[in-house]
Amino acid sequence: MDHVISGVAKFQRDVFPEQQDTFKKLANGQSPEVLFITCADSRIDPNLVTQTAPGELFICRNAGNIVPPHSNQTGGMTASIEFAVAALGVKHIVICGHTDCGAMKGAITPDKLDSLPHVKEWLGHCRCATEVVKEVHGEVTMDHLDDVTKENVLQQLQHIKTHPAVAAKLATGAVQLHGWVYNIEHGTIACWNPQTKAFEEMEQAYAESRLTASL
């Protein structure tokens, strides 16, 4: 914890003074362009990976980068998505999974989560992903972790379409959806290309789609 506290001191001493004008503008409001939904994994830093500044990303994080399908029961993700889309007017929604995801490992072996009942229930939102992979390969094991990770991103993209605020903006083209998988070891991003129906290295996929990789 000491290094965290010293980091705050360094921020106040060295970083904040150099960006004081930026923080002054942010003090009275925000206008992010992107809603960035990713995993709570400590190895993922959305601002670092995207090289974005404070105020540019509206970030939501949870185990497994999950978006529960819309329901009449209010939850943190539901409220955050509604606020980002309907109130802040974000133009893009990124759902970003990552390699070596513990949540996806849990989704593959739910029987090992009996001592973590809330985690087990939460990861039920990933069941479609594991079932798809099982249907394709005849089974789903840790050897299929990358496949489950990618399929989970696609399933969460389907879930977010059920949220009324998102559905409304999709109908008019005011919001675009993006599915990414971040490779921790290599620092690369694979993004879903709806034209080829495959995850591709970002440079290739976005050169083809001109930053409009929407489902």
Q: Is 60 annotated as a binding residue?
A: no
Show the 3-state SS of the chain.
Answer: CHHHHHHHHHHHHHHHHHCHHHHHHHCCCCCCCEEEEEECCCCCCHHHHHCCCCCCEEEEEECCCCCCCCCCCCCHHHHHHHHHHHHCCCCEEEEEEECCCHHHHHHHCHHHHCCCHHHHHHHHHHHHHHHHHHHHHCCCCHHHHHHHHHHHHHHHHHHHCCCHHHHHHHHHCCCEEEEEEEECCCCEEEEEECCCCEEEEHHHHHHHHCCCCCC
Q: Is 146 annotated as a binding residue?
A: no
Q: Is 186 annotated as a binding residue?
A: no
Q: Is 39 annotated as a binding residue?
A: yes
**Which residues sit in the known binding site for Zn(2+)?**
39, 41, 98, 101
**Which residues sit in the known binding site?**
39, 41, 98, 101
